Amino acid sequence: MPTTPLTYARTAGALYLVTHVTSIAAVAAYGAGAIALGVALEFTLALGCLGTGILLWVLLHGAGPARAATFATLRAVEAAVILAGTLPMVALTLAPLSSDATTSFTAAHTAAFLIGQGLVIGVNTIVLGSLLFTSRAVPRPLAVLGMAGGALVLLSDLGQLFGVVPLNGPVAAACALPIFAFEIWFAVLLLIRGLSPSAVRPAPAGAATAAASDAAPSAAS
């Protein structure tokens, strides 16, 4: 049975929900001292990020090839940074460390969170929101919420990076609410009805092969 755009959309929606559940659960696990569980949850989170990037590229590259590819690439970068951030936490489980080393390793994980789930996600959500807006793949208020939420998180994380906004404080939490609302709304929409059919123009199967075959005689001539 061929995979339909709605199947891709629903899978992406489910993965968006997975990323939210695992990111929140990972914070709780680390706070409770369950480091191994936190690492496992972040590994799942990274896979969810990568999956949503690939699936939305498949669905939206016909509506905006450059932005769809940029979003998918940044989603992969986000996943890579998340995985890199788990390494110091894994190190904490392998051998007893001094308090200074523990503090340093924890700070490295916090930095990865700030970059991957802050700066990178801010930019990729702006890109995604703009693509959703121009393609009319979703209701425009949702697309605007994505662009605004991404910009707010980006500014908040830049402020935290330069010490203007308290790290992981109430201001940062408030700035993250719009992007959280966007992703939940977007996930539910994907699960229920998918993207607007007019915006989903996936390349036909074998299109790349056919294009290469067509190009060969032209080059020869």
If you average pLDDT over every residue of the chain, what do you get?
Answer: 88
Q: Is the pLDDT of residue 3 over 80?
A: no
Local confidence band at 175 (pLDDT 50, 70, 90 cut-offs): very high
* Calpha distance 84→23 (Å, rounded): 15
Question: In which domain, by residue range, is 23 found?
Answer: 5-200
Q: Is residue 218 part of a domain?
A: no
Q: Per-residue pLDDT tens for 74-99?
A: 999 999 999 999 999 998 888 777 78
Other C-beta atoms within 10 Å of 161: how many? 15
Residue 217: per-residue pLDDT: 44
Count of the separate structural domains present in the chain:
1
Query: What is the pTM assigned to this prediction?
Result: 0.85
* Calpha distance 217→148 (Å, rounded): 48
Q: Is residue 43 part of a domain?
A: yes
Q: Per-residue pLDDT tens for 126-141?
A: 999 999 999 999 999 9
Percentage of the chain exceeding pLDDT 70: 89
Least confident of 40-44, 116-120, 125-129, 204-208: 204-208
Mean per-residue pLDDT for 197-217?
51
Q: Is residue 215 part of a domain?
A: no
Q: Is the pLDDT of residue 64 over 80?
A: yes
Local confidence band at 212 (pLDDT 50, 70, 90 cut-offs): very low
Q: Is residue 221 part of a domain?
A: no
What CA–CA distances, in Å, run from 116 to 68, 123, 154, 161, 189? 19, 10, 11, 13, 25
Q: Is residue 219 part of a domain?
A: no
**Best CA proximity match to 144, nearest among 171, 181, 98:** 181
Q: What is the dihedral of CA 52, 87, 41, 117, to 10 degrees?
A: -50
Q: Per-residue pLDDT tens for 47-60?
A: 999 999 999 999 99
Q: Is the pLDDT of residue 9 over 70?
A: yes
